[in-house]
Structure 1
Amino acid sequence: MVKLKWERQVHQVSALGTTLHSVPCARYIYSASDGYKIISAINSLRMAELSGWLRILVTSLILVSCVYADGLQQIQSGILDVVEPVISEENVRMQAIMKIYGQAVSWQQQIIMDRIRMEGDSGIMQVRNVFDHTKAWGTNTWSRGNGQAAIHNHANNIRTVGMGEFNAVLNGVPFTTRHNDYRLNKAHSTSKEYGATEPVDFPPVPSSVLEKVTVEEQIEEMREYFKAFAEQNKRHRDYEPYFKPVLAYMQGMWTVNTDTVEEPFFSDRHSIEADTWFQLQEDVMASLWGGKKDVNENLATLPTVIIGVNEDGSPRMAQWNYKILTHPISFDIPLNRFRPIDDLSVMVRNFKNLEDLAKTRSCRFQLNPLPKDEPYDGVWREEQSTGYVNYLEQLMKEVPGLDNYPADIKDDFFGAAPLQEPDDSSDELNTGYYHRYYSLSKRDASGFSKSARGFADANLFVAQNNQSKVAPIRLRQCYRRNCEYDEMRVSYAVPLEILYLTPLHSWNPYDIPFNAEDADFPAKGSDGRLTRDGRDDPDKAYNGASEKYYYVTPAELFESGELERDSADTTKDSVYVLDSDGVSRRTVASGMRIFLPEIPGVGNVRTRYPIFPVHQEGSAYYKEFSALKDVVRVGAKYAHLYDQPLGGLSTDTPAGSEVFTFAMRQAVGKGPHVHTFKLTGNQILALRKGAAYPGYTIQLESSTAASHSHTLVVWMKPHSSGVYIRTCDGRTSTCRDGHPFSTDCLDCPSRLLDP
């Protein structure tokens, strides 16, 4: 039997103090009788001076060096008896330590994200700042110069919607996007394939326009449709089939691909400039450390994290990614649903009041929360909860998660009853679509039967999926001593903006040919170079249209050039394009704009309405600031809050702001008890006005009595005094425990409740 010759011995090679005697760490030579020689190249190592991890590594190398060089994988018995137990024990110890370290890092990451959740809601945080100002409000926030979320125009591109870089947070995950410039694409309607998309259909051209003989007549008729849309007058022209609202949304998800960069979503103008996530992170770090931006704005800060640890101690990694897609809304969104948001820093910076701000790119909007199936008169009722069923919730519940439109998932983990719709219908909730609110099969420990995703995130929309490319989170539930594990995959989303597609996307009265194969073809001269620039010259006019040069709308439709230009815009005022007969036609871009150029008799029609939430709005500081902003801006309404009279304003409590207490009639089902609820004077006045529109309601939660509360929908009946309950926990006659549907106001002044 061949014997190994030891030249040195080492002691205490274990990282945890295990002593290994008679193990070589210098050169040893296997007998040359059969022609094999193994040399260990770890001479002159002083094991006691090595770190714990290196000692474990060296111990492992000793075992590896005992393998035959010809790959027979046979370990000499003289070494095996000594090394094998030590290596086996070291592997176990190393796995245990790695597992602890991995879990600690994972939890540290979760603590950081949870702290971010405590500081705000899901939403956009900040756009890139490029200038300074003597006042803090003078620099960029979530609004850049003259564009919320850095929106701008690429109307020369058939499907590109201009949007720059920004920081955002989704469910506590902070990240920075690349320059977005997203496309008018939607999730696939029939395929569940991860990332499958398809183009959004453009609205048709009204038949009354196409029936006109001349282009001039078509222009006149088209203006009438834009006039009807701008004035929301369907009697003038039935514009609704030709002006279609589309919701743009951003979704984020943890993916299992932590190696090769996966492009978040297609843009014909931008893509991430890195092949691997590690390379991207190095490039981002260099940019952040040096403070120098990527001139192409194609870097994105997308974190990689440890989401768990395997039994062998190896970490389970996940890579954050995001997408921007669009969804065609199934119903019309009236323009009076939008209300401008008073972002004071934007108003002051632009020297505009709220009414004037709404006419600029710098305005952000809020949607009236009244549900779409309730009569709507365009009036905003202030100071009330938006309820579990509201307009934005109804919009987002049309948007599928990563399983696309065929998604059909029920959240029934651990064998519990599936989550239900929050509208008291008891219908099972399809959690494959984005939603915030849901109903439980039984009341929770606080007595509520309805809840929201997240702990305190007002903007967190969640959808489940079954995509293998999405990192799963393991869920454990124990019944007595029996524990079961299940996996859940989710994505998160927030709305970004409402776009209105118009007939201009499809209208081509000059019959300009469209080249779908070569996006640069219209700008190419006879020699193939990009020598055409849209001038009124047969050799310079664009040769037809393409996705990149989509100028097919007659310039005579408008009487002005592009409105409120931005440095990122690429749309020209007007160009000349050769039609199918080679005739040069003066045209303007037909793609997506924030504002259309001025139409005679109509004005500038807005077609993009930013509605994105802001991360900072979820902080306690911002909520206090928001209240202070209302007190300052609407002084008379809140004058009663001042300790001293302000500018002659009375400090008496106005009826509109005063809070009144209502009592439900006594129930006996769980023993005699009474619940109360509160309404402000403004809410009562809104109910009184709403009595003329049967169906206007307010949803609220009653006080707790007899260890329970009720979800109420209250209203005022036409021609009747008093506030009545319309539904109680979804029931339309009486509450489950016998409360009747009439109420008594305990402190209302006389005639406040009169019709």
Structure 2
Amino acid sequence: MIAIAISLACLLHYTYSATPAPTTPTTTVNPLDVQMGDIRQTVEGLSRQMVMQQLGVEERIRSDGDSGIKQKLVTTRGTKPYLNDIISSPKIADLSDSWTKGRLLSIGTNVFVMNGVEFRLHSQNFKLNMPSRTSKDWHKVEEIPFPEVPHSVLSKHNVSEQIEDMREYFRAFKNQDTKIRSDYSRYFKPVLCYLEGAWLDGAAHDQRRWLGEAYTTEFFASDGQETGHAFNPTKIMRVVNGTAFYAHWNTRILCHPIKQEVKLASFYVKDDLAARLSGKQSMYDFSKSSTARFDLGEFGRPSRHFSADLGFGKQDPTFTQYTTMDAIMEEIPGADNYPAHTTGGAFGLTAYNAHFARNNTELNLARYHHWYRVLQKGAMGTTVINRGYADRTLWVASTTQDKVAPMTYKDCHYDRNTHKQNCTEYVAKYTYALPLEIVWMTPLLSWNPYNLQHFPGDTHKSPANTIHPHGHDGRTPAKAWLGTNEDSFCRTPAEFFTHASGQRYVNDRSGHAHKVVPSGFQTILREIPTVGNVRLRYPVVPTHQEGNAIYKELEALKDLVMNMAVNTRYFHTKPDAVKSIAGGDVREEHYTTSSTSVTPPGSHIHDIFLSQDDIADLEAGKRVAVYTSLNNGHQHVLEIYAEKANHYRLGHYRIGLCDGQLSCWDGHNNVLYYTS
């Protein structure tokens, strides 16, 4: 592809530079003009073919799997395929701790896929920065503020008392227990770090740098060397009147302070069996390691089975639609930053929020979203649409930035009255995002009980580079540091933890040395007396392979084998190993709406699946919101409740609201019928 692009560029240069200067018109056709016209036509045809080839590549990648991480740099090999480095072993995506740094995190070299674009992200450090809250300027960011220190801690008379009180806040967070400290959630703030990608307009950027990057990738790939360098593809976006318009893929990592409440029970661990076998880990050990990968369940439905020891909940297999991750991503802006607010939609259909709102709320398209609803014209039904043909993990935001390459589409319809084609041209610019991890900021980031002087700014310049004078390495009181900076962020008293690994001595403003340990981010915090270990980093990066049909079949087989007692009814022949085991059945219950023949849309019913948690909530007197299946071109958003007067499964569950109304527009009655 690179060689073809260079050849086309040379051919275009020759075409236009070889055209002779205008001369006096004659009736004789200049053979050179004919030749140049043929060359231009050939070049334009080749350019369009390259556009089609790139589209074919992207469509194949989209159908192969979801947006997510695909591969990582291999440094370890073994006699089994799963003993080679995989995306979650030894650390998921090589997300590493930088616990001596103030607001710095790091990620290794990984191959990602995002909306059909495959690219390589080089290993890098990234800061806890978020998009600007006040400006729409391109790539303008600001630092995420750290949580404050609890007032009850600061009011103590000495450091020892502060340590004891701070431990109680960590115990409350670990156990999610407001009885220990009623206000603990105020001081433990979740942050989602995410990877953002976009096609940038070639006219607004240095194309020579892109070509150099491509040459580097081609050389090292042919030589078999691997240095962890980046690769971002370039493509022809469109061809207009023989002119090719190029675009280059660009990525960056940002973080977002999550506004809504996130319970630890909302997380559940993904069982990466290859990583467990490679690390010789039980499910328990794997869940408490830096290898573990997590996901979030249905929005507003944290698990009832929370383990404070593990730091997450348990999620039974169930259908989901609008998840907690979807709700979090809808808080995050695209390239226009937080001030942007864009509504509307393409093809005359307004996009509405896909959550179970009783009233239709227009979706802010400038924030990252996966699901949205549109109202069908005429029939007044509702259809929920996901971004991406089959991509479960594609989040999209619109933007107005000039640097982002535009996409154009002309929609034409024949008008029977005027006998003419009426055309509407749509122009759109998009950026895409993938979640990487959710990090919990704690009061340790702000806590400075010894009042050590902190020097912000570049650690290679004064005054931040003055804390280590004349070989002061901080290992003894005599060689104590003179303060802290962003690279030597040690302010937590060593006594706060059971074992003071990484301890350093730092002088306070009076010249007294204190033994402290790093206060930066760790995946799993060191052991705290009376508390234990606390997980602070939850990798939530999706994988590309999870969207593949073969992977889905293997995942089903894995569930079947790993949970035989529960899944015995799915075996052709019941395995001997489980014949004596009476396994519990935690499957969903299947209901349908009543049949209706209202036209439009015609005779149909809808399916509804209720999880065991749904049923528990209904029996507790709560209303539960669910989506029906898509039938006859529409679906419904239902709020259902349990009718206590009716027997369980015999008209017991009723529809309270249908699409925000007291009855469904297409004639379904308010009874749900049990199927299995």
**Structure 1 length normalisation: TM-score?**
0.79
Give the alignment partner of residue 319 of structure 2, picking from 378, 381, 385: 385
What is the CA–CA distance in structure 2 between the aligned matches of 1:708 and 1:444, rounded to whole Å? 12
- Paired residue type of 2:151: S
Query: Equivalences for 1:352-751 in 2 at 5 Å?
Result: 352-371=281-300, 382-387=316-321, 389-414=322-347, 416-423=348-355, 425-442=359-376, 449-480=383-414, 481-520=421-460, 531-538=471-478, 540-561=479-500, 573-650=502-579, 656=585, 662-667=591-596, 669-670=598-599, 673=603, 675-677=605-607, 679=609, 683=610, 685-695=612-622, 697=624, 699-702=626-629, 704=631, 710-717=636-643, 721-722=648-649, 723-726=652-655, 729-745=658-674
Give the alignment partner of residue 159 of structure 1, picking from 103, 128, 145: 103
CA 1:381/1:339 → structure 2, altered by over 3 Å: closer, same or farther?
closer
Name the counterpart of 2:70.
125
SS at match of 2:122: coil
Greater shift, 581-590 or 169-178, is seen at 581-590
Contact persistence 1:460–1:492 (CA under 8 A): yes
- Cα offset, 1:247, TM superposition: 0.8
SS at match of 1:404: coil
SS at match of 1:347: helix
Give the alignment partner of residue 303 of structure 1, picking from 233, 236, 241: 233
Post-superposition Cα deviations, 1:192-231, rounded to whole Å, max 9, x if no partner, equal 1110110001000001111112112111111111111111
Contact persistence 2:170–2:531 (CA under 8 A): yes
What is the CA–CA distance in structure 2 between the aligned matches of 1:60 and 1:202, rounded to whole Å? 58
Post-superposition Cα deviations, 1:155-204, rounded to whole Å, max 9, x if no partner, equal 21111012211110000100111113211000111111110110001000
Give the alignment partner of residue 340 of structure 1, picking from 236, 259, 269: 269
Q: Give the percent of matched residue pairs that are identical in Structure 1 and Structure 2.
A: 30
* Deviant stretches of 4+, over 6 Å: 51-62, 374-377, 651-655, 657-660
- Paired residue type of 1:555: A
Name the counterpart of 1:265.
none
Contact persistence 1:375–1:693 (CA under 8 A): no
Contact persistence 1:522–1:543 (CA under 8 A): no
Q: Show structure 2 runs of 5+ residues with no match.
A: 1-6, 307-312, 415-420
Contact persistence 1:347–1:354 (CA under 8 A): yes
Contact persistence 2:566–2:583 (CA under 8 A): yes
SS at match of 2:404: coil
What is the CA–CA distance in structure 2 between the aligned matches of 1:659 and 1:104, rounded to whole Å? 49
Post-superposition Cα deviations, 1:464-494, rounded to whole Å, max 9, x if no partner, equal 0000000001111112213232310001111
CA 1:55/1:491 → structure 2, altered by over 3 Å: closer, same or farther?
closer
Contact persistence 1:375–1:694 (CA under 8 A): no
- Cα offset, 1:52, TM superposition: 12
CA 1:652/1:159 → structure 2, altered by over 3 Å: closer, same or farther?
closer
Q: Show structure 1 runs of 5+ residues with no match.
A: 1-50, 68-74, 263-274, 563-572, 749-755
CA 1:578/1:97 → structure 2, altered by over 3 Å: closer, same or farther?
same
Contact persistence 1:453–1:462 (CA under 8 A): yes
What is the CA–CA distance in structure 1 between the aligned matches of 2:566 and 2:63, rounded to whole Å? 31
Post-superposition Cα deviations, 1:353-386, rounded to whole Å, max 9, x if no partner, equal 22221111010112122436x9977575634321
What is the CA–CA distance in structure 1 between the aligned matches of 2:327 and 2:527, rounded to whole Å? 33
Name the counterpart of 1:202.
146
Give the alignment partner of residue 191 of structure 1, picking from 112, 135, 153: 135
- Paired residue type of 2:605: H
Post-superposition Cα deviations, 1:680-704, rounded to whole Å, max 9, x if no partner, equal xxx4644432234443636242474
* Corresponding residue pairs, total: 649
What is the CA–CA distance in structure 2 between the aligned matches of 1:529 and 1:739, rounded to whole Å? 79
What is the CA–CA distance in structure 1 between the aligned matches of 2:391 and 2:555, rounded to whole Å? 17
- Cα offset, 1:724, TM superposition: 2.3
What is the CA–CA distance in structure 2 between the aligned matches of 1:233 and 1:105, rounded to whole Å? 59
RMSD over aligned Cα, in angstroms?
Answer: 3.3
Name the counterpart of 2:189.
244
CA 1:529/1:554 → structure 2, altered by over 3 Å: closer, same or farther?
closer
- Cα offset, 1:650, TM superposition: 4.5
Give the alignment partner of residue 229 of structure 1, picking from 173, 183, 194: 173
| Structure 2 residue 139 is the aligned partner of structure 1 residue 216 | no
Post-superposition Cα deviations, 1:563-606, rounded to whole Å, max 9, x if no partner, equal xxxxxxxxxx1111222122222111111111221111111111
Name the counterpart of 1:285.
218
What is the CA–CA distance in structure 1 between the aligned matches of 2:391 and 2:15, rounded to whole Å? 51
What is the CA–CA distance in structure 2 between the aligned matches of 1:420 and 1:714, rounded to whole Å? 21
- Cα offset, 1:235, TM superposition: 1.5
- Cα offset, 1:655, TM superposition: 8.6
- Cα offset, 1:154, TM superposition: 1.0
SS at match of 1:97: helix
CA 1:81/1:702 → structure 2, altered by over 3 Å: closer, same or farther?
closer
- Cα offset, 1:328, TM superposition: 0.6
CA 1:519/1:226 → structure 2, altered by over 3 Å: closer, same or farther?
same
| Structure 2 residue 280 is the aligned partner of structure 1 residue 351 | yes
Q: Based on CA coordinates, which of the two structures has the bigger radius of gyration?
A: 1
What is the CA–CA distance in structure 2 between the aligned matches of 1:53 and 1:545, rounded to whole Å? 54
- Paired residue type of 2:558: K
SS at match of 2:525: coil
- Paired residue type of 2:153: V
- Cα offset, 1:659, TM superposition: 7.6
Post-superposition Cα deviations, 1:536-562, rounded to whole Å, max 9, x if no partner, equal 143x32221111111111111112255
Contact persistence 1:257–1:319 (CA under 8 A): yes
What is the CA–CA distance in structure 2 between the aligned matches of 1:107 and 1:448, rounded to whole Å? 34
- Cα offset, 1:59, TM superposition: 8.6
CA 1:278/1:458 → structure 2, altered by over 3 Å: closer, same or farther?
same
Give the alignment partner of residue 113 of structure 1, picking from 54, 58, 61: 58
What is the CA–CA distance in structure 2 between the aligned matches of 1:140 and 1:726, rounded to whole Å? 50
Post-superposition Cα deviations, 1:51-101, rounded to whole Å, max 9, x if no partner, equal 99999988977765xx7xxxxxxx776xx7599844544444333222211
CA 1:718/1:688 → structure 2, altered by over 3 Å: closer, same or farther?
farther
CA 1:658/1:502 → structure 2, altered by over 3 Å: closer, same or farther?
closer
The structure with the largest strand share of the pair is 2
Give the alignment partner of residue 142 of structure 1, picking from 87, 93, 118: 87
- Paired residue type of 2:665: R
What is the CA–CA distance in structure 2 between the aligned matches of 1:464 and 1:133, rounded to whole Å? 45
- Paired residue type of 1:292: Q
Post-superposition Cα deviations, 1:211-269, rounded to whole Å, max 9, x if no partner, equal 1121121111111111111111112112111000111111110001478569xxxxxxx
What is the CA–CA distance in structure 1 between the aligned matches of 2:582 and 2:549, rounded to whole Å? 26
What is the CA–CA distance in structure 1 between the aligned matches of 2:490 and 2:266, rounded to whole Å? 32
CA 1:518/1:685 → structure 2, altered by over 3 Å: closer, same or farther?
closer
Contact persistence 2:494–2:500 (CA under 8 A): no
What is the CA–CA distance in structure 1 between the aligned matches of 2:191 and 2:215, rounded to whole Å? 37
What is the CA–CA distance in structure 1 between the aligned matches of 2:265 and 2:11, rounded to whole Å? 71
- Paired residue type of 1:303: P
SS at match of 1:499: strand
SS at match of 1:93: helix
Contact persistence 1:371–1:394 (CA under 8 A): no
Greater shift, 454-463 or 588-597, is seen at 588-597
What is the CA–CA distance in structure 1 between the aligned matches of 2:590 and 2:466, rounded to whole Å? 77
Name the counterpart of 1:168.
112
What is the CA–CA distance in structure 1 between the aligned matches of 2:470 and 2:18, rounded to whole Å? 65
SS at match of 1:440: strand
- Cα offset, 1:349, TM superposition: 1.3
